[in-house]
């Protein structure tokens, strides 16, 4: 029986459990808290922060291969372990250009992939002249560790930018921890999940539409209503990126569809991704099974939809509480072809991902999918 070490014990690791059981794989998790979702499903747990390489060395002794649930890792420390022969999938060299968002932008640009215009924010003296060609509004982003909208700010004018940079929340941070990029007036936000095997085979999931509110994903519609040419362009982007990095495993790629019809790459997640959760119920092979298949050297599975379409809605915290929201979950579960996934987190706080629900649909109708999503949200969120 193969053992896979997972750095990170959140819901992404927790959702690997069913697939691992089906494939005869045991999961060993490195995570700081006994309350983290994946602790309940792991064969063993190493209790330590995800950036603790000493703990990862202990993890490696318990498993055959190590993969990642999140990217908050110390690559320099892990590279010492890699040189000792510990197997990381994806390999550390594939993560290196992606963890810093400025380096990620540079890497994508140098590959010839379409990205928004951007610049590093390291010389405040020249700031005015540097951003003149971007124009306002601009997007200010933390280069490391921003996710679920954290560390991303839409800035309307130069005075607001100066204020944000001198704000008490950023005074302790070096300006080089930020980048600026042009604001894209998009028609839709899109995403694609793609997997690459040890042999270099690539499979892609249907391109989906993601809908964000306050920079947090609220809902996903699969497949996205876009043209076949746009689908082909996005698939080609995925192939170029995964082959260039020689990835083994799953990547999530977020994109913009501009109002001019152009596709731009927004961000890369080197792991399973929220935009692929629909695959658990809607696809022949879920993104979680696909990732385990790839990192264990098994043949990749079929990523095709088994229904006409699907809509996934995140169940986000809206208060500080310890409730399990049993009543709302039960009402949502009664929606035809609804599948509720509850992550078992012991604490709710605003914006925290507590679970998700996927509804399978018999036809492809974006308006119907959005109406179902709004119905779920009307049950979940207090009026």
The overall average pLDDT reported for the chain is 93
pLDDT band at 300 (very low <50, low <70, confident <90, very high): very high
pLDDT band at 177 (very low <50, low <70, confident <90, very high): confident
In a domain, 261, yes or no: yes
The reply to whether 75 and 215 lie within a common domain is no
Give the separation between CA 76 and CA 73, rounded to whole angstroms: 9
> pLDDT tens for residues 148-164?
566 788 889 888 888 88
In a domain, 309, yes or no: yes
The reply to whether 78 and 124 lie within a common domain is no
Residue that wins the pLDDT comparison between 313 and 123: 313
Domain that holds residue 288: 186-380
Query: Taking 70 as the threshold, does the pLDDT of residue 48 lie above it?
Result: yes
> pLDDT tens for residues 328-357?
999 999 999 999 999 999 899 999 999 999
Which whole number is the average pLDDT over 290-306? 98
Q: What are phi and psi of 149, to 5 degrees?
A: 85, -10
> pLDDT tens for residues 96-150?
999 999 999 999 999 999 999 998 877 555 677 777 778 889 998 888 876 656 6
The reply to whether 315 and 222 lie within a common domain is yes
**What pLDDT does residue 168 have?**
44
In a domain, 83, yes or no: yes
**What pLDDT does residue 50 have?**
94
pTM for the full model?
0.94
Token pair, residue 215, equals: 């920079």
Cis ω for the linkage preceding 137 (within 30 of 0): yes
The reply to whether 166 and 192 lie within a common domain is no
**What pLDDT does residue 135 have?**
84
Between helix 75-83 and helix 53-61 the angle, nearest 10°, is: 40
The reply to whether 202 and 315 lie within a common domain is yes
In a domain, 97, yes or no: no
The reply to whether 153 and 291 lie within a common domain is no
The reply to whether 371 and 237 lie within a common domain is yes
Element (H, E) at 141: strand 138-142
**What pLDDT does residue 88 have?**
97
> pLDDT tens for residues 193-208?
999 999 999 999 999 9
- Single residue among 129, 158, 182 that ends a domain in this structure: 182
Query: Taking 70 as the threshold, does the pLDDT of residue 173 lie above it?
Result: no
Give the separation between CA 47 and CA 237, rounded to whole angstroms: 38
Which among 278, 271, 205, 289 is positioned nearest to 17, based on CA atoms? 289
Q: What are phi and psi of 342, to 5 degrees?
A: -110, 125
> pLDDT tens for residues 254-277?
999 999 999 999 999 999 999 999
> pLDDT tens for residues 50-109?
999 999 999 999 999 999 998 889 999 999 999 999 999 999 999 999 999 999 999 999
CA atoms within 13 A on the CB side of 142: 12
Q: What total number of domains does the chain contain?
A: 3
In a domain, 294, yes or no: yes
> pLDDT tens for residues 227-255?
999 999 999 999 999 999 999 999 999 99
The reply to whether 212 and 68 lie within a common domain is no
Report the Cα 134 to chain-centroid distance in Å: 27
- Single residue among 159, 182, 205 that ends a domain in this structure: 182
The CATH number of whichever domain residue 11 belongs to comes to 3.40.50.20
The CATH number of whichever domain residue 351 belongs to comes to 3.30.470.20
The reply to whether 197 and 165 lie within a common domain is no
**What pLDDT does residue 149 have?**
60
In a domain, 112, yes or no: no
The CATH number of whichever domain residue 127 belongs to comes to 3.30.1490.20
DSSP secondary-structure letter at 88?
A: B
**What pLDDT does residue 151 have?**
79
The answer to whether 137 touches 156, Cβ cutoff 8 Å, is yes
- Strands 25-31, 202-204: pairing is unpaired
The reply to whether 40 and 124 lie within a common domain is no
The reply to whether 68 and 197 lie within a common domain is no
**What pLDDT does residue 45 have?**
97
**What pLDDT does residue 285 have?**
98
Query: Taking 80 as the threshold, does the pLDDT of residue 286 lie above it?
Result: yes
The reply to whether 301 and 220 lie within a common domain is yes
């Amino acid at each position: 029986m193969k053992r896979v070490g997972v750095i990170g014990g959140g819901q992404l690791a927790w959702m690997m459990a069913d697939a691992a059981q089906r494939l005869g794989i045991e999961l060993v998790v490195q995570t700081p808290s006994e309350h983290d979702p994946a602790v309940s499903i792991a064969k063993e747990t190493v209790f330590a922060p995800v950036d603790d390489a000493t703990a990862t060395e202990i993890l490696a002794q318990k498993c055959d291969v190590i993969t990642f649930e999140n990217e908050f890792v110390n690559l320099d420390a892990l590279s010492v372990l890699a040189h000792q022969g510990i197997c990381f999938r994806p390999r550390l060299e594939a993560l290196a250009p992606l963890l810093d968002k400025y380096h990620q932008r540079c890497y994508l640009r140098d590959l010839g992939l379409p990205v928004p215009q951007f610049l590093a924010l390291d010389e405040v003296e020249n700031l005015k002249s540097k951003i003149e060609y971007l124009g306002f509004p601009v997007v200010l982003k933390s280069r490391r560790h921003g996710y679920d909208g954290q560390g991303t700010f839409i800035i309307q004018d130069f005075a607001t930018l100066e204020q944000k940079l001198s704000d008490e929340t950023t005074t302790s941070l070096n300006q080089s921890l930020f980048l600026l990029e042009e604001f894209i007036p998009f028609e839709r936000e899109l995403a694609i999940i793609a997997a690459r095997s040890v042999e270099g085979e690539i499979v892609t999931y249907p391109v989906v539409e993601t809908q964000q509110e306050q920079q947090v994903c609220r809902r996903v519609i699969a497949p996205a209503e876009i043209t076949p040419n746009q689908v082909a362009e996005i698939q080609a982007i995925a192939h170029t990126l995964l082959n260039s990095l020689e990835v083994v495993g799953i990547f999530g790629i977020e994109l913009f569809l501009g109002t001019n019809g152009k596709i731009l790459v927004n961000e890369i997640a080197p792991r399973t991704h929220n935009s692929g959760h629909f695959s658990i119920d809607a696809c022949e092979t879920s993104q979680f099974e696909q990732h385990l298949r790839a990192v264990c050297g098994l043949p990749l599975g079929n990523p095709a939809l088994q229904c006409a379409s699907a809509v996934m809605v995140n169940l986000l915290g809206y208060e500080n509480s310890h409730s399990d929201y049993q009543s709302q979950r039960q009402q949502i579960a009664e929606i035809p072809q609804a599948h509720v996934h509850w992550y078992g987190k012991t604490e709710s706080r605003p914006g925290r991902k507590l679970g998700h629900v996927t509804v399978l649909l018999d036809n492809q109708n974006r308006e119907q999918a959005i109406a179902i999503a709004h119905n779920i949200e009307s049950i979940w969120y207090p009026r």
